[in-house]
Amino acid sequence: MITHLLQAAAAENAAAEVGKLEHLLQSLLDWGTTAGKHILAALVIFIVGRFLISFINKMVARLLERRKVEPSIQSFVRSFVSILLTVLLIVAVVSKLGVETTSFAALLASAGVAVGMALSGNLQNFAGGLIVLLFKPYKVGDTVECQGETGVVREIQIFHTILTTFDNKVVYIPNGTLSSGVITNYSREELRRVDWTVGVEYGSDYDKVEATIRTILAADKRVLDKPAPTIALTALADSSVNVVIRVWVKSEDYWDVFFDMNKTIYAVFNREGIGFPFPQLTVHQAKD
């Protein structure tokens, strides 16, 4: 009798354990099905969102081009819109995964101090980008020198300005440092002055030197008549008589004129018998 009671109790316990296991498996199955739906929906939202972001970015770019907005503002707006849409997409994906947006916002708020400290530099760069667009110390296509780098402004983004250097390197400079630092813009003015200092030998006929230089300048149509070129004897140096030459050219002709004139002066001076000096040292030997 007792044996039958023990067997019945064991059977009941086994049935109860099987029931609990079946319930647990069913719960896991239900949770997996629900989670799978959320993950699939979030994946669909992400893929569609990325497509929409790409489409909207292209549409914004075309709209800005049709309205002939400055390239500097175009690049900044495109960068801002892309980042804003990406943030909205992330929030939508997180929400679809089952994370409450209110809880998500509360989490961000609780970490606000740390996030603010981490992003303080980027916020400064964002403000710097707005200042650059407002006061326009440079624009896309200008040749500038800033933060020890010289190059052509390729793009003004929300946080950085991109330069392409003359040896084809791409440099990213934070907008915050640009808005508060020194910027030399070589493209802002229509005209630029080119300077040379040419040394000739002592004993050279200065009038001939000056006349030869004026003939060289007159032959180059890129050299402007107004403002008039300046030629002057600037220094009686240790081994040479230094002549300074200053002319005005269009900004885009600056380097071509600079290098071409060096070559021309060297060739014409040699042909005209005007000598270029070299360092000399006179040594006097004391007699016993």
Q: Is residue 253 part of a domain?
A: yes
C-alpha–C-alpha distance, residues 104 and 90, integer Å? 11
Q: Is residue 254 part of a domain?
A: yes
pTM for the full predicted model: 0.59
Q: Is residue 12 part of a domain?
A: no
> What pLDDT shows up at residue 10?
60
Of all helices (H) and strands (E), which one includes residue 161? strand 160-165
Buried b (16+ CB within 10 A) or exposed e, 3-23: eeeeeeeeeeeeeeeeeeeee
Q: Is residue 219 part of a domain?
A: yes
When divided into structural domains, the chain yields a total of 1
Nearest to 223 by CA among 196, 197, 254, 264: 254
Half-sphere exposure of 150 (CA within 13 A, CB side): 6
Q: Is residue 237 part of a domain?
A: yes
Domain extent at residue 201: 191-272
**C-beta separation of 161 from 132 below 8 A:** yes
User: Per-residue confidence of the chain (288 residues) as pLDDT tens digits?
Assistant: 556 555 555 656 665 665 666 666 666 666 666 667 777 777 888 888 888 888 888 888 888 777 777 776 777 777 778 888 887 888 777 777 766 656 555 555 655 555 455 555 677 888 888 888 888 889 889 999 998 999 999 988 888 899 999 999 999 999 988 888 899 999 889 999 999 999 999 989 999 999 999 999 999 999 999 999 999 999 998 889 999 999 999 999 999 999 999 999 999 999 999 998 877 667 777 765
Q: Enumerate long-range contacts of 217-220, CB under 8 Å, 24 or more apart.
A: 217/245, 217/247, 220/257, 220/260, 220/261, 220/264
Main-chain phi, psi angles of 65, to 5 degrees: -70, -40
The CATH code of the domain that includes 216 is 3.30.70.100
C-alpha–C-alpha distance, residues 139 and 156, integer Å? 8
C-alpha–C-alpha distance, residues 203 and 239, integer Å? 11
In one-letter notation, the amino acid at residue 199 is G
Q: Is residue 259 part of a domain?
A: yes
Q: Is residue 234 part of a domain?
A: yes
Nearest to 70 by CA among 173, 139, 149: 139
Q: Is residue 79 part of a domain?
A: no
